[in-house]
Chains A and B, each alone.
Chain A
């Protein structure tokens, strides 16, 4: 049978199977197990209603348990065993082996770099796009276009950006736009603006953004009415320290931007330049995620009460003050949600690195490292250990999300 026909048959069987399960199980519950006979009618209705939710939930719980619950524990178990030795328990040997590998640390370092740059840049660009398009007559078209990369696969985006970064020998016409610009600049005032002023400006803007966030953190720490526990406070202090470190790094990079000598006149193979090549990969994800951030933040900006903005304007605030002092503080919660959602995407990033460099030239990330262990080295132990490493990185967000969800459930009741 042709697979496509098989697919249609599967849809038919799957959907009708589900419907049959739900209706038949309900019927059996009402007519056979707890029949509504005159004597015990009320009691049986109550009993049936106590069981029914679990009938509705069973397929979902079963699938979730099998496809997401069980693997968490099984992966944990596999990471402590050795497949070659017949699945014998080897304690932390896999983790030790992983920690001894330079590639793992490279992947971890790169993941951290991605974790700082991509959510920050996507959120910043998203906020910028949301604010710019807010009152524009053609704002919806602009938003559609910036949002469009969300529909493009990571692999498709990788092809798009491979063309952007393409390199030809110096005597040929460059077909990658980045190299074309690079050769076109070739020293001169244009290159000073594009290669020194613009990156320096972006770096300083980034540093200013982090400083702004730290200011917010400090304000919350010093707030005497705050009801945060010790854990949250410690988390805030830690985030502040990391932020300070990032600011120092940014300022050092700015100095570097003005002192470095560029090799003009030579087309560059952008994806093999150590350290910076990771940034060229990050640009792909930033390009994709900015649209997401923009859509969410734009909705949040619309929700900012008009009176607060009007009051600020009456008090003489300029548009920048209105944006940074009135609007942004009111959508802080949404910014955090956007930031964490993009962080989750970043932690699992695999396709872009796989398709563009496959972890060569120092661009490895954890998810690709894991696939590499799994399929190339066929080492399930270390593969599982690296999967657990990803899980550990995700878990703070997991706990935070679950806490919030429970809070909300309680609020609803």
Chain B
């Protein structure tokens, strides 16, 4: 018996470890984006984000303080002293040099002989003393090339730049509100329309009901791509053009099959007795629907609302076709991030922050309402 128990516990450990690996693998990419959004541009480009907690090694070029303003007499010569980084920032210099051809000629703490009595001494923390005669300590300041270890540094500047700066290309504040403007009506209106239809398909008897349900199941899988050209033509033709109204209508239309399907499946499962009793007591269908079925269907309504919210918030295609015109005033976040990928493809501090802002809202919705989302998924695909 003991051997069986032994294998069992070993297997349990294997399950724990493989689940942990899988979870880490799955969260690793997103976590990288989150960490990157709090790092400075220099830090991001000098080391991988997984090294964010360690000091990163960078090559920096700094010109020391202007001798004409800062030099002080020292015996028969002059001296300029100070710190390369303004004050002590925790940066640690390992090697340095005074020419771009030999950037690690000296170690920290060494004194470099710059010829004819001119010297430069640089300490590991960036303190320097530059001394020489009147002629040498004047004009352009000496340049210093240093290999320095920068301590981990996290900043909120990227979020400031992306959300509050008002910078024309980087700020996604406007796109954020545009996305919100698209999303809220496009989530609420289909629910109202679909709820009535779902009730009719679930609890009213009429010829052709089965066929209608079958048609809606069919429409569930009709690719959106099919609808783009004809509807754009229609919108342009009847004068809606490209704009919010068009995109609200489009999302309503495209969201309806799933809404009706989910709500109908849920309503069919409601207890028959309640509805029959209400009918016997003389309630009309309209009363049964608004007073009994609708309140009872809240979980299904919530499920669909989350689906539609996530779908509209994350959508790029429908917004590009029906909303965003040449002025770009109505751009949404997904579109702006795609544009940032083009214009600022290498600026990961902006890109990762913008992307994180755009996925933060769905993630909040996801984690707070996950229960309803799972329920909706199960109702939509498993029977």
Contacts and interface: CB of A to CB of B under 8 A. Distances in A.
Interface size class of B (residues with CB under 8 A): 35 or more
Contacts of A60: 193-194, 196-197, 256, 260
A52 interface: yes
Contacts of B286: 22-23, 26
B222 A155 contact: no
Contacts of B220: 401
Contact of B192 (A15, A146, A153, A177): A15
A63 interface: yes
B229 A78 contact: yes
Contacts of A299: 378, 382
Main secondary structure of the interface of A (DSSP, over half): helix
Contact of B214 (A129, A180, A394, A406): A406
Interface string A277-320: 00000000001001010011001100000000000000000010
B227 interface: yes
Contacts of B317: 350-351, 371
A70 interface: yes
A144 B381 contact: no
A235 to B, nearest CB: 17
A410 B213 CA distance: 12
Most chain B CB neighbours (cut-off 10 Å) among A3, A57, A172: A57
Most chain B CB neighbours (cut-off 10 Å) among A10, A15, A60, A159: A60
Interface string A3-37: 11011101100110011001100100010000000
A72 B204 CA distance: 29
A103 interface: no
A223 to B, nearest CB: 23
B61 to A, nearest CB: 16
Nearest to B346: A166
Contacts of A156: 314, 334, 337, 355, 358-359
A177 B180 CA distance: 33
Interface string B58-83: 00000000000000000000000000
Contacts of B234: 66
B89 interface: no
Interface stretch (A186-194, A211-219, A333-341): A333-341
B216 interface: yes
Contacts, number: 333
Contact of B348 (A26, A61, A175): A175
Interface stretch (B99-107, B122-130, B157-165, B363-371): B363-371
A315 to B, nearest CB: 15
A151 interface: yes
A155 B337 contact: yes
Given A132-B18, A146-B26, A355-B338, A10 B248 contact: yes
B219 interface: yes
Given A129-B22, A151-B365, A163-B352, A63 B253 contact: yes
Nearest to B189: A14
Given A151-B362, A155-B316, A391 B223 contact: yes
Nearest to B329: A3
Given A160-B30, A160-B355, A408-B383, 15 more contacts: A3-B178, A14-B248, A63-B252, A69-B219, A71-B229, A153-B313, A155-B314, A155-B316, A156-B355, A159-B355, A163-B33, A295-B377, A299-B382, A398-B221, A405-B214
Interface of B: 11, 15-16, 18-20, 22-23, 26-30, 32-33, 36, 44-50, 56, 177-178, 180-182, 184-185, 188-189, 192-194, 196-197, 199-201, 204-206, 209-210, 212-214, 216-231, 233-234, 244-245, 248-250, 252-254, 256-257, 260, 268, 284-286, 289, 310, 313-317, 320, 330, 334, 337-338, 341, 348, 351-352, 355, 358-359, 362-363, 365-367, 370, 373-374, 377-378, 381-383
Interface of A: 3-4, 6-8, 10-11, 14-15, 18-19, 22-23, 26, 30, 49-50, 52-54, 56-57, 59-61, 63-64, 66-72, 74-75, 78, 125, 128-129, 132-133, 135-136, 139, 142, 144-156, 158-164, 166, 168, 172-177, 180, 287, 290, 292, 295-296, 299-300, 319, 334, 337-338, 341, 344, 347-348, 350-351, 354-355, 367, 370-371, 374-375, 380, 383-384, 387-388, 390-391, 394, 397-398, 401-402, 404-406, 408-410, 412
25 contacts: A3-B178, A3-B330, A4-B177, A10-B244, A18-B193, A53-B204, A56-B196, A57-B212, A60-B193, A63-B256, A66-B253, A67-B252, A71-B228, A75-B227, A151-B310, A155-B355, A180-B50, A287-B26, A334-B382, A350-B316, A388-B226, A390-B223, A391-B223, A406-B214, A409-B213
